[in-house]
Structure 1
């Protein structure tokens, strides 16, 4: 079965790094990579009532520039990895990133989005750019994997999976996490971070269910007594030099904690761990 992966790019170094990470992560898998560039027109602003139309000189020049950058990118990809299992498609879109992502995910039946955490306009001191955070928050049709700026690919051998055990998990929610773990023989470290370390009856049942779901991969359970959930997750991952953090992206769970400003400041712009948000 062919996996379809969408990689947004603004042709920055960080975006190129995310492309390379994607190619290496799924090196052994038959994949179609859809490379998406959302181009804008310098002279057009939201206050301008005239939307540039296809066929206009300004529109066609901007699109041609995007396509020219794609030619260079495909040449770099060929130098990085000539993989017969991979095919590439480029999409130049005049649109807002969120809308272009939504349309491409639907039209191409995308399985996974992989993107860098900062683009060409990345601000020093901020690891997760607004585009990345918005994408991880809004995309619900497929997982989103965010690759920090300076992460060079190494096969993930340990993936941290934080949980509060308050919700029942479904196998379908975790299939991409399990897939990555199986491809790279990675260990999943399930961590529960809470000041109160005791689990109630519902939590115990959900923990048992998670054990059953993870029975086909190497895994272990860990409990950390810490008031701040985000601090506990990053401290655990940093101390073990883990390769990835994965979590179910539910509105009421962890998302706000993981991407809150205090955590961004703590791990800084030299963060070394990709984040996998599972819908």
Structure 2
């Protein structure tokens, strides 16, 4: 497995990298650490000098990080001139990566536009799974996995991706569905999903819970409020999910400021 980790050298990015290193060690995966920058100046000569300075400083910092990590995981790094999201997508598309791990909030001041708001863009546009890691979270703090399902056009492949990405954690899964009113057909689908998961992944532990809330995204937000030891998983099967996130404040809050790690799988 190959993991892509963007950084702006902020504490939040360092925390996401620590999460990625622990995950990669467990999965026997490799990490590519990527730093991107975008500088615009009036004079070409000035732009060239500034770009060289930025790249030299970034290279020194990336080498320091690599030395600090040591032999814990196989790690390399790339420096790309361009926006964060463009650098991530270009690298991911050209490198056959399996997962992106990044922080949810960036540094203040000059670095504030690098990591943070870009996380939502990456989640929205990325063709591969993304784990968004808030500053207060660590890999070791995760004790269970909460999987939110909408029970609309569930695909077998998306559950296989979930297990592939998380089975080495050996943690229990709780499959949750938030509904605004009782629905007989969804009850049947939920039961079928329970049978499918237990039959096809017998080595994994599953439990199932339905929540009733008029506002479904608010219900999910309330549910995870006190679940600081959890990883939240959401499936993005179509544009409807993405439109839902970016049109509703509560879901957007989960992307930007979630207090627990969020794994989005497509």
**1:166–1:206: 8 Å Cα contact kept in structure 2?**
no
| SS class of match (1:61) | helix
Q: How does 1:47-66 map to 2 (within 5 A)?
A: 56-66=48-58
Unaligned runs of 5+ in 1: 123-127
- Pick from 25, 34, 38: which aligns with 1:36? 34
- Pick from 73, 76, 92: which aligns with 2:68? 76
| SS class of match (2:234) | strand
Q: 1:278: Cα distance to partner?
A: 0.4
Residue of structure 1 in register with 2:21 after alignment:
23
The separation in 1 between residues aligned to 2:260 and 2:247, in whole angstroms, is 13
Superposed CA deviations along residues 72-105 of structure 1, whole A, max 9, x for unmatched, are 2223323xxx42xx21111000012222111111
Task: State how many pairs are aligned.
Answer: 258
TM superposition score normalised by structure 1: 0.81
- Pick from 72, 77, 89: which aligns with 1:102? 89
TM superposition score normalised by structure 2: 0.84
Unaligned runs of 5+ in 2: 110-114
The Cα RMSD (Å) is 3.0
Cα–Cα, structure 1 residues 61 and 240, in superposed 2: closer, same or farther, change >3 Å? closer
- Pick from 149, 162, 165: which aligns with 1:163? 149
- Pick from 175, 178, 184: which aligns with 2:160? 175
- Pick from 134, 146, 159: which aligns with 1:148? 134
| SS class of match (2:139) | coil
Q: 1:254: Cα distance to partner?
A: 7.0
Q: 1:261: Cα distance to partner?
A: 2.9
**2:3–2:99: 8 Å Cα contact kept in structure 1?**
yes
Say which structure is richer in helix.
2
**1:156–1:184: 8 Å Cα contact kept in structure 2?**
no
**1:178–1:214: 8 Å Cα contact kept in structure 2?**
no
The separation in 1 between residues aligned to 2:141 and 2:34, in whole angstroms, is 25
**1:160–1:191: 8 Å Cα contact kept in structure 2?**
yes
Q: How does 1:89-128 map to 2 (within 5 A)?
A: 89-121=76-108
Residue of structure 2 in register with 1:232 after alignment:
219
Cα–Cα, structure 1 residues 34 and 58, in superposed 2: closer, same or farther, change >3 Å? same
Cα–Cα, structure 1 residues 101 and 65, in superposed 2: closer, same or farther, change >3 Å? same
The separation in 2 between residues aligned to 1:177 and 1:259, in whole angstroms, is 26
The separation in 2 between residues aligned to 1:143 and 1:267, in whole angstroms, is 14
Q: 1:267: Cα distance to partner?
A: 10
**2:37–2:84: 8 Å Cα contact kept in structure 1?**
no
